[in-house]
Amino acid sequence: MEAKTDKFSSEQISEAKALFNKPCTFVLSVAKLDQLPLTEMGEVAFAGRSNVGKSSLINALFNQRKLAKTSSTPGRTQQLNYFNLADKIHLVDLPGYGFAQAPESMVKNWQKLIFTYLQGRVNLKRVFLLIDSRHGIKKVDEETMELLDKAAVTYQIVLTKTDKISAKELETTINKTKEIIKKHGAAYVDVLATSSEKNLGLDELKAEISSLI
């Protein structure tokens, strides 16, 4: 089941697809805030639990297999990875959270880096918070949503791996997600359902990003 939306016209979808056919290049990895690019260009960030499929989703958006590094080892992304889309907008791959095997000191450093980034990045347009559709929003996800609420950063839920569940299960997950969203002031009302493997919902996500430029 692919979530349908009438939010964007066919023309807007076409424009977004054309944008994502343009060059997207890796810029840099940021481990400290003083390494952040000095630019006024807007940016969107992708966040989610370790192994939720962030890198796979980014690669699928651009139909590139190796733009963002994927790994079977959770917690591989430990820095903020910047990508430049046609000098129009930056996409930022944030470190995955909720990886129990990571040293506590490393986790705290990630959290501090991410929260400070979220609070202070004035050109950050939106965070796309990825949730595995098979599991729904977990406690650690709600903690991240509270962090985003506190930082007053607008964020939107993107369900991943929707090809792994039935249409009925997806509908239930979407409804549960919308109920949780109501409790969070900074959460965007629309929920996107995607599958990197089956290319489901990617055009709508492209249109959302394109609309922020």
Q: pLDDT tens digits, the chain, 213 residues: what are they?
A: 444 457 899 999 999 999 999 999 999 998 888 899 889 899 999 999 988 999 899 999 998 877 766 544 444 456 889 999 999 999 999 988 866 566 777 667 777 778 888 888 999 999 999 999 999 999 989 988 998 998 899 999 999 999 999 999 999 999 999 999 999 999 999 999 999 999 999 999 999 999 999
Q: According to DSSP H, which parts of 39-165 are helical?
A: 54-61, 104-120, 139-150
Which is it for strands 80-85 and 43-48: parallel, antiparallel or unpaired? unpaired
Do residues 96 and 126 make contact, with C-beta atoms less than 8 angstroms apart? no
pTM metric for this prediction: 0.90
The residue whose two tokens read 């599958």 is 195
